[in-house]
Amino acid sequence: MTSIDWIIILFYFLVIAGIAWWSSKNQNTTEDYFLAGRNIGWFAVGASLFASNIGSEHIVGLAGSGAANGMAQAHWELHAWIMIMLGWVFVPFYYRAGVFTMPEFIEKRFDSRSRWVLSIVSLVAYVLTKVSVTVYAGALVFRTLLPDTFGTPDDAFWVGAFTTVILTGIYTVFGGFRAVVYTEVMQTALLLIGSIFITWFGLSALGGWGELKLILAENANQFALWRPNSDETFPWLGVMIASPIAGIWYWCTDQYIVQRTLAAKSLTDARRGAIFGGFLKVWPVFIFLVPGMIGYALQSKGLLPIPTDPDGKVLADMVFPSMVANLLPVGLRGLVVGGLLSALMSSLASLFNSCATLFTVDIYEKLRPGRPEKFLVRVGRIATGVVVLFGLMWIPVMKRMAEGNAGLYDYLQNVSGFLAPPITAIFLLGLFNKRINSHGAFYGLTIGFVLGMFKLTVQSFVQNGLLDPSTILGAIGAYNGYYASGILFLISVALIVTVSYMTEAPDQEKISGLTFGTLTDKQRAENRDSWGAPEVIGTIVVLGLVAAVYIYFSFWLN
């Protein structure tokens, strides 16, 4: 890192500070602080959806997955079609209900018991899959780019972790959700530009796309989009079962993502923002996965030094930072590091605000109703710090699991696959079946969550060498996580449906407008009036791009 690189990064932070200062004005109500006054346009909604998703764990972890596993995890990055579901299927119900949070919607559809469970599950998920993973990935960047600045690489790792958390927390706490959204618009552009440059320079150093394909074709099975079902890590059937379950949970029901559509100034803007976000979501395959494969090819030709573990195995999650450090010229390196920092900060900022919203609206306000608006905003800020503390405490455990598995990104998808099934099940069944009642939702959600945490616990014991895989518990822990996700989903569905049909039907008046079967004619007409040709054309373009990527990469190494 040179002086020019640092000047560029400093300028970036000054812009962030300016946006936070501007956003901090008029933060007097919970609607202002948590939903930016519900006045965000479709472009900002779409850019914010993309930037919130693409954090440093994506840049670092997805590039590492590309180097280690090729296209195997592209299925999760082609979830643009699920964002289309968000816009057309889910958003109209959320927006019409006028809710702040997803647990609040669940209470309207079912009851307060399920709201409590979903709030707790969501906060646990944020600690295990967002705070720890995002901070860990960002710290890897510091460890690679500034190995000697703070004494040792490990010191750089922890300095990077705490510095980014503190800086992001400051602008999120003061700026609220408006600061989150508008900084993410800028960060989306910086993120895309930086990743495109690393792809360009990487291909130039390698000798072009044709050379990349030739090198990867030597190990075509390792880099293929589809793996045989005999593959222990990425069996194609397990992947196709698990990825939609996790995708629907993440894109259509998770507060972290959906909060952006709730902040839109109209239903049209919310839907259009989801479609625009889907368009942006197509490109991570090319700007994150492909650079990872380029890094593998460069390393195999001796053109890129990448750190290794004590056994001599290349650390895949260090591929992207190594490419930044070794391939980019002065100045551009600062721009790309700014992109990495922006990815880390945008994800953390979104997470901080979502945690504050969940705790304040769904837990504290239920326990202490009637508190002043300014007091609730202060409670949300304090709650954020507590969640971040737990996330930092989980990093050492998560680090072992990521290194013992197929990398950081595989860890992320495995954990998501254990937490997502019951949530995906109650939202889908709740919207599409008006007979599903509060008892079914509560028991399905609770038992599904307990089973998911049990699987995560025994799997972590196996991967950390604390449990023998030959035992019954060890076998459960060692069982493929993607298949396990499908089994958890089926168990959750069976519980929800069985308990619902064994108990009384829900009050149809209470759930009016909250399921497809209880929409009034007026609500159907309002929904139809909220979309037109731009939304239809945008949907066709996004789905066409997803299909084209699938077709090309299914045969690209043949």
Q: What is the DSSP letter of 233?
A: S
Q: Is residue 403 included in any domain, yes or no?
A: yes
For residue 36, what pLDDT band results from cuts at 50, 70 and 90?
very low
> 308 in a domain, yes or no?
no
Q: Which of 452, 450, 444 is nearest to 484 (CA)?
A: 452
Sign of CA dihedral 433, 434, 440, 442: positive
The pLDDT of residue 332 is above 70: yes
Higher pLDDT, 206 or 9: 206
Nearest CA to 526 among 274, 245, 271? 271
The answer to whether 392 and 105 have CB atoms below 8 angstroms apart is no
Q: In the prediction, which pLDDT does 441 show? A: 95
Per-residue model confidence (pLDDT) at position 401: 58
More confident residue, 266 or 373: 266
Angle in degrees, CA 195, 57, 468, rounded to 5: 140
Ranges 152-161, 316-325, 360-369, 542-551, most confident: 542-551
Q: How far apart are CA 195 and CA 140, in angstroms?
A: 17
Q: Where is mean pLDDT largest: 66-75, 111-120, 173-182, 434-443?
A: 434-443
Nearest in space to 255 (alpha carbons), one of 43, 36, 104:
104
Q: Given pLDDT bands bounded at 50, 70 and 90, which one contains residue 371?
A: confident
At residue 220 the predicted structure's pLDDT band, cuts being 50, 70 and 90, is confident
CB–CB of 393/136 below 8 Å? no
Give a yes or no: residue 320 inside a domain.
no
CB 128 within 8 A of CB 394: yes
Span 262-272, average pLDDT: 88
pLDDT of residue 314: 67
For residue 250, give both structure tokens: 């993440």
Q: Tell me: the pLDDT tens digits for 166-181?
A: 776 666 665 555 666 6
DSSP string of 119-133?
Answer: HHHHHHHHIIIIIHH
Distance CA 212, CA 34 (A): 46
Confidence at residue 54, expressed as pLDDT on a 0 to 100 scale: 74
pLDDT grade for 135, boundaries at 50, 70 and 90: confident
227, part of any domain? yes
For residue 398, what pLDDT band results from cuts at 50, 70 and 90? Answer: low
Question: Among the ranges 23-32, 236-245, 313-322, which has the highest mean pLDDT value?
Answer: 236-245
Does residue 504 register a pLDDT over 80? Answer: yes
Tell me, yes or no, whether 321 lies in a domain: no
Whole-prediction pTM value? 0.82
Is pLDDT at 276 greater than 50 in this prediction? yes
* 17 belongs to a structural domain: yes
Note whether 273 and 517 are within 8 A (CB).
no
Residue 234 lies in domain: 3-301+327-555
What pLDDT shows up at residue 72?
86
Residue 526, helix vs strand vs coil? helix
We report the CATH number of the domain holding residue 76 as 1.20.1730.10
Residue 400: predicted pLDDT: 64
The total of structural domains in the chain comes to: 1
Cα gap 512→530, rounded to integer Å: 20
Q: Average pLDDT, stretch 490-504?
A: 96
Domain presence at residue 43 = yes
What is the C-alpha to C-alpha distance for residues 276 and 545, in angstroms, rounded to an integer? 13
Contact predicate 17/346, CB 8 Å: no
pLDDT tens-digit series, residues 139-194: 776 776 666 666 777 777 677 767 767 776 666 665 555 666 666 667 667 767 77
Q: What pLDDT was estimated at residue 169? A: 66
Give the rounded distance of the alpha carbon of 540 from its chain centre.
24
Q: Say whether pLDDT at 453 is over 60.
A: yes
Does residue 318 fall inside a structural domain? no
Q: CA-CA distance, 385 to 173, in Å (whole number)? A: 10
**Least reliable range by pLDDT among 2-6, 265-269, 522-526:** 2-6
Rounded CA-CA distance 489/499 in Å is 16
Average pLDDT of the residues in 361-386: 77
Q: Taking 90 as the threshold, does the pLDDT of residue 502 lie above it?
A: yes
Per-residue pLDDT at 335 exceeds 70: yes
Q: Is residue 17 pLDDT above 60, yes or no?
A: yes
Going by C-alpha positions, the residue among 489, 528, 463, 44 that lies closest to residue 246 is 489
Which of 158, 161, 153 lies closest to 134, judged by CA?
161
Q: Which residue has the higher pLDDT, 40 or 449?
A: 449
**pLDDT greater than 70 at residue 524:** yes
28 versus 8: the higher-pLDDT residue is: 8
- Which of helix, strand or coil describes residue 395? helix
Give the Cα separation of 346 and 236 in Å (integer).
32
